Amino acid sequence: MTIAEFHPPHRLLLGPGPSPVEDRVMRALAAPTLGHLDPVFLACMTDVQHLLRYVFETQNRVTFPVSGTGSAGMEAALANLLEPDEEVIIGIHGFFGERMYEMATRLGARPIRVEAEWGRPLDEQAMKAALDRSRARVVCVVHAETSTGVLQPIEPIARWVAEREGILIVDAVTSLGGHPVGVDRHGIGVCYSGSQKALSCPPGLAPITFSESALEKVRRRKTPVPNWYLDVSLIERYWGSERCYHHTAPINMNYALREALRIVAEEGLEARWRRHERNARALWAGLEAMGLELLVPREHRLWTLTTIRVPEGVEDGRVRARLLEEFNIEIGGGLGPLRGKIWRVGLMGAGSTRGNVLLFLSALESVLRREGVRCGSGVSAAVEAYGG
């Protein structure tokens, strides 16, 4: 049997992930594969940990990439921290809060839902009230809800959790590298992310960090961690000073993550945050000038992901298909109750550029006009937002 070589097209990835990958990262991915205990690879692992601490803004000793996607990071956080019949508070204002809830339920925990409308942040007082009336010690929130484009304020929730000597688990899959996360500053117990969003690495790794208080809870478990592969007490021996075999790490993906993190460090976190903010604000100005409505109020919008309401009478899938076929641009559609109702546009990592903002606005305007939508000039408004 003969199968032709696979030659995927070069797409402009402006969806909810993965994001565009820089050539430097792709070259690192193609470097010679080493053994997972080779001393040269062990040195690479040390570099990855050092750079991840910088990006997470933490000094946590146990910081490493889980060998799996962002959902593996989520499962690692919950499986290690939750025990059967344990109450846990989960903030739900989108698809990934619901995923946390499902995982916690499967682990045999007793999750307490604190819900908000999709497209709005959690009510902080509702979170506090849930803490006050429960025995929960673990609280879970999504910092950057990829399904809606909402940025959840962390500081007040983190403060209330700390007052009760609890542990806060934070999903930073779509914020790490594009927004301040501040693991140590906020006293976050466990924070996880994904390699394929604002870090601009291919999907396949889930950076995660555990505070000492979170690790102490793991050590005091009455039952074994139910997921052997994601048991941090075992994995930390591989990523710690022992370098004791646990699993065969995805060698080349770690090369790629190391290079992606080097790029982040070269740019500097604050400069990177400002770049994401500047390009997001220009995009918003352009979309609003076109007469489009954004799902999330301005003060709660992500810089990395913008959600646009699909205009009345316009077919979601047809617009996305035209962008892909005619302009080679990929954007995302809605999930759950927002399916068919919103477009999700990502400006993450290497994809967050002025050129991409202007190209996307021009392409979207062209497609919408042919769909019968009357549009203003998004490009002109974005250029003005940039200052000319």
Q: What is the largest CA-CA distance in the chain?
A: 65
C-alpha 126 chain-centroid distance? 24
Asked if the structure places residue 380 within a domain, the reply is yes
Whether 25 contacts 260, CB under 8 Å: yes
3-state secondary structure 169-202: EEECCCCECCECCCHHHHCCCEEECCCCCCCCCC
Which residues, at least 6 apart from 273, have a Cβ–Cβ distance to it below 8 Å? Answer: 178, 179, 180, 303
Residue 123 has pLDDT above 80, yes or no: yes
Q: Which residues of 127-158 are buried (b: 16+ CB within 10 A; e: fewer)?
A: bbebbeeeebbbbbbbbbbbbbbbbbebeebb
Residue 314 belongs to domain spanning: 269-386
Q: What is the CATH number of the domain that holds 151?
A: 3.40.640.10
Cα–Cα distance for residue pair 322/328, rounded to 1 Å: 9
Residue 155 has pLDDT above 90, yes or no: yes
The C-alpha angle with vertex 64 and arms to 146 and 234, in degrees rounded to 5, equals 115
Number of domains in the chain: 2
Asked if the structure places residue 93 within a domain, the reply is yes
Cα–Cα distance for residue pair 77/207, rounded to 1 Å: 11
Determine the average pLDDT of the residues in 82-93.
98
298 and 251 within one domain: no
> CA–CA distance from 22 to each of 198, 271, 308, 378, 380 (Å)?
12, 18, 27, 27, 28
pLDDT bracket for residue 26 (50, 70, 90): very high
Asked if the structure places residue 4 within a domain, the reply is no
Closest among 315, 277, 313, 308 to 291, alpha carbons compared: 308
Model confidence pLDDT, tens digit, residues 229-252? 999 999 999 998 889 899 999 999
Length of the chain in terms of residues written: 388
Asked if the structure places residue 300 within a domain, the reply is yes
238 and 371 within one domain: no
360 and 274 within one domain: yes
pLDDT bracket for residue 302 (50, 70, 90): very high
Using the Cα atoms of residue 239, residue 245, residue 249 and residue 251 in order, give the sign of their dihedral.
positive
Neighbours of 363 (CB within 10 A): 19
Model confidence pLDDT, tens digit, residues 190-216? 999 999 999 999 999 999 999 999 999
164 and 105 within one domain: yes
Whether 81 contacts 106, CB under 8 Å: no
Supply 22's token pair.
Answer: 């820089």
Whether 209 contacts 274, CB under 8 Å: no
Cα–Cα distance for residue pair 183/135, rounded to 1 Å: 24
291 and 240 within one domain: no
Q: Tell me which of 231, 250, 266 is where a domain ends.
A: 266
182 and 147 within one domain: yes
197 and 119 within one domain: yes
Please give the pLDDT value at position 86.
Answer: 97
313 and 210 within one domain: no
Determine the average pLDDT of the residues in 279-283.
98
Q: Tell me which of 266, 301, 332 is where a domain ends.
A: 266
Cα–Cα distance for residue pair 188/170, rounded to 1 Å: 7
Asked if the structure places residue 129 within a domain, the reply is yes
Residue 255 has pLDDT above 90, yes or no: yes
C-alpha 6 chain-centroid distance? 29
Mean pLDDT of the chain: 97
Q: Tell me which of 266, 297, 332 is where a domain ends.
A: 266
Please give the pLDDT value at position 242.
Answer: 86
pLDDT bracket for residue 69 (50, 70, 90): very high
Cα–Cα distance for residue pair 276/245, rounded to 1 Å: 39
Determine the average pLDDT of the residues in 288-311.
98
295 and 202 within one domain: no
Q: What is the CATH number of the domain that holds 291?
A: 3.90.1150.10
Please give the pLDDT value at position 25.
Answer: 98
Cα–Cα distance for residue pair 69/205, rounded to 1 Å: 5
68 and 205 within one domain: yes
274 and 338 within one domain: yes
Asked if the structure places residue 13 within a domain, the reply is no
Model confidence pLDDT, tens digit, residues 336-371? 999 999 999 999 999 999 999 999 999 999 999 999
pTM above 0.85, yes or no: yes
Please give the pLDDT value at position 264.
Answer: 98
Asked if the structure places residue 11 within a domain, the reply is no
Asked if the structure places residue 7 within a domain, the reply is no
Please give the pLDDT value at position 102.
Answer: 98
Determine the average pLDDT of the residues in 156-167.
95
274 and 201 within one domain: no
Helix (H, G, I), strand (E, B) or coil at 62: strand
